[in-house]
Structures are given as C-alpha cells and as structure tokens.
C-alpha cells in the first residue's frame, strides 16, 4: 500500500534544476526543497542565483548554484560537476530553461535565432542528460523531467521555432526513456499558458478573455507545474517513463 506521507518525498536526493531562479523553474526548485531534496540551480544571472540560494536555504535545503547558460556546454559540464561534488549526488535532472528570442512566421526566422533556440531548448537538455548519466545516473539511477509545452503538440502562429524545439523535447523524452531504462525514468510536462515573466507578452493584454475559454477558467501559475514535477521525480510515479503529461487547464480541449 502506498504511503502518502512518503511517496512524494525526495529526502536524501539531489536535484539539478535549470532556469531555477524564476517562474516554473523556481517553483520546482522550491517544491523539491520542501520535499527534502538538496537542490542545484543553473541559471544565467548571479544576483538571481544569490537570492534563490537564500530562499531555498530558508526552506531547509542544501543548495549549490552555478551562473551560466543552459545552452553552453562548458557551463553544463561545470554545473553537473558542482552538483555531484558539492551535494554528493545527482538523482533528478529538470531541464526547464528555455529561450525564445524571436516571434513570427517560421519561414522568416533568421539563422542566428534558429541556432539560439535549438542551443538552449534542445541541445542543452540533451547535453545535460548525457552529463548527468555519466556523472551519476549510469551507476545509481535517477529521473529526468523535461519541460516541453502544449505548443510542441500543435501548430500556432508566431511561436513556430519555439514550438518546433518543444516538439523535439517531447520526442527526446521518449527516446531517452527507451534508451536509459530501467535505471533512469524520463518524463516530460507540457504546460499550457502559465503566468510567468517569460510568457507575459502572450497573456497580459487579454488574460480574462483567454482564461474564459479554458474549462478551469484560469491560466496556470508556476506551482501548477511544480506539483506535476514533484510527482514525476518521486516514487509516486515509479512505473511511469516516456510520458508527456499535459498540465494546461484543459486548453487543448478547446
């Protein structure tokens, strides 16, 4: 019989969360810390990392932070090494960081923007998974949680390149789940429109109108995604791998 008091705990485990200083990544880092995990955060801005470190320590977590881009191979290698060496292990990897430097038709996107989106949104998560596998998970097992998007499941105007990258992450999740089992489980979350600074331009001028079409009648908040991320990292989801979990307020129903 499952014990609810223990099934969602992460005591004794260490998680690396990319983009963990704000929005969805921050909510996931805080949820993991509250569930007993040590947390390593990879993000670009040192001042935000410093504030996040203090906040996670206040929750009671052991914390390590690294300033760098989740699309930079050197930063990726260094962050994984820091997590393993400072915190002793690497049980959970959350590939959350993403970039979207362009808006417009896919057919018109400049090569530089294409490269940036793919570097952060696709290549980075794969490199992080590779390094986590070599540094810890190959011998000790673990879980990988990828943050994709409902945009990776259907076409939408203006966000074509971003959505292509998120579709790639959804497929990468299934491919890695096939390759890394049974030692490592790999799942993804596909959020709908969540109220973050990253997505503000998509909702700030018409939030009520957009939300009124959802069965839940509201947009998402970061904690909505953090709950799913905790489930996928915990023993409560121990027989799940290769899945893309929709957390979208029912938006795809309409």
Tens of pLDDT, residue by residue, the chain (254 residues): 778 889 999 999 999 999 999 999 999 999 999 999 999 999 999 999 999 999 999 999 999 999 999 999 999 999 999 999 999 999 999 999 999 988 899 999 999 999 999 999 999 999 999 999 999 999 999 999 999 999 999 988 889 999 999 999 999 999 999 999 999 999 999 999 998 888 777 767 788 888 888 999 999 999 999 999 999 999 999 999 999 999 999 999 98
Q: How many CB atoms lie within 10 A of CB 67?
A: 18
Q: Is the pTM of this model over 0.75?
A: yes
Is residue 173 a contact partner of residue 132, using CB atoms and an 8 Å limit? no
Q: Which residues are catalytic?
A: 162
Burial class (CB in 10 A: 0-12, 13-18, 19+), 83: buried
**Which residue ranges make up each domain of the chain?**
4-245
The reported pLDDT for the residue numbered 188 is: 98
The reported pLDDT for the residue numbered 254 is: 86
Sign (positive or negative) of CA dihedral 183, 246, 27, 67: positive
Name the superfamily (CATH) of residues 4-245. Answer: NAD(P)-binding Rossmann-like Domain (3.40.50.720)
The reported pLDDT for the residue numbered 132 is: 98
The reported pLDDT for the residue numbered 4 is: 81
The reported pLDDT for the residue numbered 213 is: 85
What φ, ψ does residue 204 adopt, rounded to 5°?
Answer: -65, -25
């Amino acid at each position: 019989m499952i014990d609810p008091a223990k099934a969602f705990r992460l005591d004794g485990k260490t998680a690396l969360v990319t983009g963990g200083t704000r929005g969805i990544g921050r909510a996931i880092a805080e949820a993991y810390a509250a569930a007993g995990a040590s947390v390593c955060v990879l993000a670009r801005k040192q001042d935000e990392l410093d504030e996040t470190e203090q906040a996670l320590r206040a929750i009671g977590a052991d914390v390590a932070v690294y300033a760098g881009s989740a699309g930079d191979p050197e930063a990726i290698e260094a962050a994984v090494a820091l997590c393993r060496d400072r915190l002793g292990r690497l049980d959970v990897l959350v590939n959350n960081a993403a970039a979207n430097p362009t808006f417009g038709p896919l057919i018109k996107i400049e090569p530089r923007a294409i490269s940036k989106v793919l570097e952060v949104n696709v290549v980075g998560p794969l490199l992080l998974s590779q390094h986590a596998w070599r540094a810890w998970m190959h011998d000790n097992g673990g879980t990988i949680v990828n943050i994709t998007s409902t945009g990776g499941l259907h076409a939408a105007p203006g966000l074509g390149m971003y959505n292509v990258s998120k579709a790639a992450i959804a497929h990468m999740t299934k491919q890695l789940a096939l390759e890394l089992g049974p030692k490592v489980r790999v799942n993804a979350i596909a959020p709908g429109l969540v109220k973050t600074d990253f997505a503000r331009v998509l909702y700030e001028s018409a939030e009520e109108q957009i939300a009124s079409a959802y069965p839940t009648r509201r947009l998402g908040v970061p904690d909505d995604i953090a709950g799913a991320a905790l489930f996928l990292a915990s023993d409560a989801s121990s027989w799940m791998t290769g899945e893309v979990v929709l957390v979208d307020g029912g938006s795809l129903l309409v």
